[in-house]
Amino acid sequence: MAALVSPAPAFDSARRERAGLETISRRRLKAIFSGSVGNLVEWYDWYAFSSFSLYFSASFFPSDDTTAQLLQTAGIFALGFLMRPIGGWMFGRIADKVGRKQSMTLSVLLMSLGSLLIALTPTYQTVGIVAPILLLTARLLQGLSVGGEYGVSAAYLSEMATRRRRGFYSSFLYFTLIAAQLLALGIQLVLLKVLLTEAELLAWGWRIPFVIGALLSVVALYLRQNLDETAAFEQQKTQSEELRGSLKVLRRYPRAVLKVVGLTLGGTLAFYTLTTYMLKFLVNTAHMTKGAATNTCFLALLGFAAMQPAFGSLSDRIGRRPLLIGFGVLGTLGSVPLLTALSHTTTPWVALALLLLASVAVSGYTSISAVVKSELFPVEIRALGIGLPHALTVAVFGGTAEYIALWCKGIGHESYFYWYVSGCIGISLVVALLMAETRVTSFHDQDLPAAA
């Protein structure tokens, strides 16, 4: 038992993995848990914007046209994504040069500031054009923060995981991503059904989730300040600092970068369509009530979250590539008929069944997104290699998903968006078919330190 609580858990666990043992140290489990909880808090702050935009859009963009209000709010949402590549580069460099822990701590501070600013921003009716400008500023801060969060968290969780369970433990990145949306929707349900009327939520109650987000960030900050650094990062600190987190070194891995872009292209569009845009889709297209749509999305996200560790564990058995191909085939062939069916569905239980069906397909990407991308890069540029191309692709395709969908609806051809989703997932399918199995070619196998 003493070996399980060794003061040098990362090196001891590495020695045990070489011996073929599956036991993971308690401190390493604590690090994975703390990293995941901090990740959840940060992504909650990010998703609260989307979840409550139905209620605060009129406070910043006065109009009689609901679609126009949502379109303007979606534009702010998309602009926040433009900061993500900068965040991916900046926090990726910090993580590869200084440490994963320091980078993750700094990112959560920026996110907290953005949430607090949204909570305190006056309405358009009070300060005029200053209101949407402040909203945009807050969203840009959040975009900078979350742009670095994905790559650093993916590197941290995969490096903390044991070799044979890397897919399972890394799946908690998207588990917390989805759980963050569940938390945002859960708070919305409590506010709407228990504490406030819809009129109160529209008038001022939408500020509450952003106050909660700022307070939760204090918890995330505490957890991240007490994280253990990964053994993989500690081992590579002997290398020249010029090599760590360097774009020059990253350019030596063009195929890996293109794989990240190709896989993320369809994956992020499918994810944001299924999650952040779906609430608006059910209200604005399927004409469900806000309450019914919120209930449906909450239950669908609950099932989606539960699928992540299951699919991640499956990838440790059969490999990452079969799951990616499954996502590509199902997404390419199924997006148009599924979204078409949803657009004509007014029964919440039918909508829930369709969303859970979509979740099965998308889980083939989300559950292993972190581990696949992490396995493509050596430790000295891993956080940057994951974070920068991922953030660039998400900014272009994930961040604009709502805007493009609403634009297509606005011109009277909403089905164009369905085909757009299908085509982008098709590109990811081609990448998955052409790439090697990363579970057996992983750069993580070079991370294991020599036995102490």
Q: Quote the pLDDT of residue 130.
A: 80
Q: Quote the pLDDT of residue 9.
A: 45
Q: Quote the pLDDT of residue 335.
A: 94
Q: How far is CA 17 from CA 20, 304, 348, 371, in A?
A: 5, 31, 47, 18
| Separation between Cα atoms, residue 262 and residue 264, nearest integer Å | 6
Token pair, residue 277, equals 């845009």
One-letter identity of residue 12: D
Q: Quote the pLDDT of residue 447.
A: 63
Closest CA to 201 of 330, 84, 58, 306: 58
Name residues of the chain where pLDDT drops below 50: 1-11, 13-14, 16-21, 449-452
Distance of CA 352 to the CA centre of its chain: 22
Q: Quote the pLDDT of residue 151.
A: 85
Closest CA to 94 of 81, 80, 107: 107
The DSSP-derived string for 254-287 is HHHHHHHHHHHHHHHHHHHHHTTTHHHHHHHTS-
Closest CA to 176 of 303, 39, 274: 39
| Pair 89, 385: CB distance under 8 Å | no
Q: Quote the pLDDT of residue 305.
A: 94
